[in-house]
Amino acid sequence: MLRRRLLQMTAAAPLALAAKAAVAAPALFRRPRPTDAAWPSSDDWAELKAAVGGALIKPEPLLSACEADARSESCRTRFKAMQNPFFLGDQAAGTQVSGYLDAWMPAPSAFAVAARTTADVAAAVTFARRHRLRLVIKGGGHSYFGTSNAPDSLLIWTRPMRAVKLIDAFVPLGAPGSVAPVHAVTAEAGAMWIDLYDAVTTKAGRYVQGGGCTTVGVPGHIQSGGFGSFSKGFGTSSGNLLEAEVVTADGVIRVVNAWRHPDLFWALKGGGGGSLGVVTRVTLRTHVLPERFGWAEMSIKAASDAAYTRLVSRFLAFYGESLMNPHWGEQAAVQPDNVLKISMVSQGLDADAARAVWRAFIDGVNASGTDYRWTQTPSIGVGAARDWWNVEGMKRDGSDAMRYDDRPGASPTHGWWSGDNGQVNAFLHGYDSIWLPATLLAADHRERLAAALVAASRQMAVQLHFNKGLAGAPPEALAGARDTAMNPEVLTAFALAIVATGGPPTYGALVGFKPDLALAHRNAARVAASAAALRAVAPLGGSYLSESNYFNDDWARAYWGSHHPRLSGVKTKYDPEGLFFVHHGVGSELWSADGFERKA
């Protein structure tokens, strides 16, 4: 069945485009813009439109309704809609954040192919290669670097491709007969994690390792590496990838896995989205669902800086001894006001076991006299894992844990965590991340780490994302992550430290939405100073490419470490002319910052 489907899709690719693509293209040095003579003609665009069954569109700016009057009713309606991440994802020109200071601002592509099939994607890739266009790929649109956003480009927009299918006995194409079938889920390129969680967990009672943010696009998350709340137990999404369908720069539709194009398969697992091809379908392993998921939330204020440093050190010791294992994930925040805020989640523990884990730490805080006081009393509990993403059930119960997509005709299974609401349409001032090795938790290093965290927090809060470092994960999760393109530091890191800040959306010249740039630049400087304090104890700490500094000059080492040369080889093999470009993506060093001019 799969082979027949591939043959049908390949045959569907337009013969005219394929014939023209067969002509060898000269060396590529500059991509055309709409004002250039080399820009495709109206007849060329009409040819592409016919090839994709009419799915060629011209994206409108998100705030086109506000251009005439920023105070109009239609403009106010649009501003309200833009607080809904599902709405943003449903717009060809939508991005989930509204820009990054001194880096990028949202700008619609000149044209977009709203792809409904892999054949549509192949036609768009062929057209872009033939006309040497700046090409942009967007599924969920969550890139903090704006990689699914560029003016004067052709956008391949995969949002319409949303099918999700469970498979009870999946064997990768071309695998030897000795490979045992496994439970899996297949998703098309436009699917979001909430689509998979609803199908796999809520309805089928199994688990798939995905992202914490429900509206993140599935293929983009996998290509970044892919962490979620329970990665300490189940690994990364890329480590759970079994197979992918991808359109490469030559316009060919390829099915890749450990036996077919294994080099490209490896590179897609953490090598960065938008650099190696257009992923149109993924198949992921699913797992037995634990009976219970749970939480542990609390916050503690220290009476002095010295007491705060002792508290942070005590918590780090407790984490290393009791929480650095497959059962616990999520984060703790070391805040500027001498408050340690803890927001953890658990899997596979009942309520008594979860509370027992925390008893010694809580008792220690209570026994510390006036040094500490609870600003949020400990709340530790569990619930049925199958209901963790049960959006319809939460809505019926009046739960405020999620916000709900309340647009007419919206899927009743679509919601996003209330804790993620501040990220929707935010304007980023500064961002950085550093993997912290587990060796820093040893007694002879822990005091120095605690002091560095407190020093960093004087500038900006530091969030320790424990599920974004795999130290303490089980062997099978480590093995899966080891066989990806991610920086190997992830295997021995106990946490990813994130320092970031932003503000409300900014919309250029529109009245009332001009940013306070002086404040934004002060915030960016504070982020940089905070990150520098952490690098004093982790000088070679890499960064997670999805959540990192746009201006990191050492990006290749930070994102991929020793894997970067191998990635570059895969890029050269499958995209020798550099059709696919994203900021700080593999091969981007050969291009200008905007991706329009080749340096050599």
Q: Using one digit for the tens of pLDDT, what is the confidence trace for 484-498? A: 999 999 999 999 999
Comparing 75-79, 110-114, 232-236, 309-313, the range with the smallest average pLDDT is 75-79
Contact between 265 and 162 (Cβ < 8 Å):
no
Average pLDDT for 337-345: 98
Q: Please give the domain boundaries of the chain with CATH numbers for all domains.
A: 2-19+27-65+73-159 (3.30.43.10), 164-288 (3.30.465.10), 291-388 (3.30.70.100)
Among residues 318, 289, 477, which one has the least CA distance to residue 383? 289
How would residue 156 be classed by pLDDT, with cut points 50, 70 and 90?
very high
Average pLDDT for 17-22: 38
pLDDT, tens only, 186-208 = 999 999 999 999 999 999 999 99
Rounded distance between C-alpha atoms, residue 104 and residue 102, angstroms: 6
**Assign residue 292 a region: left if phi > 0, alpha if psi is -120 to 50, beta otherwise?**
beta
- The pLDDT value recorded for residue 13 is 42
Average pLDDT for 47-75: 92
pLDDT higher than 80, residue 4: no
Average pLDDT for 335-345: 98
- The pLDDT value recorded for residue 514 is 73
pLDDT, tens only, 135-153 = 999 999 999 999 999 999 9
- The pLDDT value recorded for residue 28 is 54
User: What proportion of the chain, given as a percentage, has pLDDT over 90?
Assistant: 89
Question: Which two structure tokens, joined as six digits, stand for 151?
Answer: 């003016």
- The pLDDT value recorded for residue 51 is 98
How would residue 29 be classed by pLDDT, with cut points 50, 70 and 90?
confident
∠ CA 93-99-105 to the nearest 5 degrees?
65
Rounded distance between C-alpha atoms, residue 575 and residue 567, angstroms: 12
Strands 164-170 and 182-188: antiparallel
Question: Which two structure tokens, joined as six digits, stand for 264?
Answer: 């490209």
pLDDT higher than 90, residue 26: no
How would residue 157 be classed by pLDDT, with cut points 50, 70 and 90?
very high
Rounded distance between C-alpha atoms, residue 178 and residue 175, angstroms: 8
Among residues 386, 294, 291, which one has the least CA distance to residue 345? 294
Rounded distance between C-alpha atoms, residue 283 and residue 246, angstroms: 12
Average pLDDT for 3-22: 38
Average pLDDT for 160-181: 98
Comparing 5-14, 90-99, 151-160, 258-267, the range with the smallest average pLDDT is 5-14
Rounded distance between C-alpha atoms, residue 186 and residue 98, angstroms: 31
Maximum Cα interatomic distance, the chain, rounded to a whole number of Å: 79
How would residue 68 be classed by pLDDT, with cut points 50, 70 and 90?
confident
Helix 118-131 crosses helix 42-51 at what angle (to 10 degrees)? 160
pLDDT, tens only, 558-585 = 999 999 999 999 999 999 999 999 999 9
- The pLDDT value recorded for residue 14 is 40
- The pLDDT value recorded for residue 87 is 97
- The pLDDT value recorded for residue 537 is 97
Average pLDDT for 195-223: 98
Paired strand residues for 241: 284
Contact between 236 and 481 (Cβ < 8 Å):
yes
What residues contact residue 42 under an 8 Å CB cut-off, 6+ apart? none
How would residue 67 be classed by pLDDT, with cut points 50, 70 and 90?
confident
Rounded distance between C-alpha atoms, residue 115 and residue 155, angstroms: 10
Rounded distance between C-alpha atoms, residue 486 and residue 585, angstroms: 13
- The pLDDT value recorded for residue 510 is 66
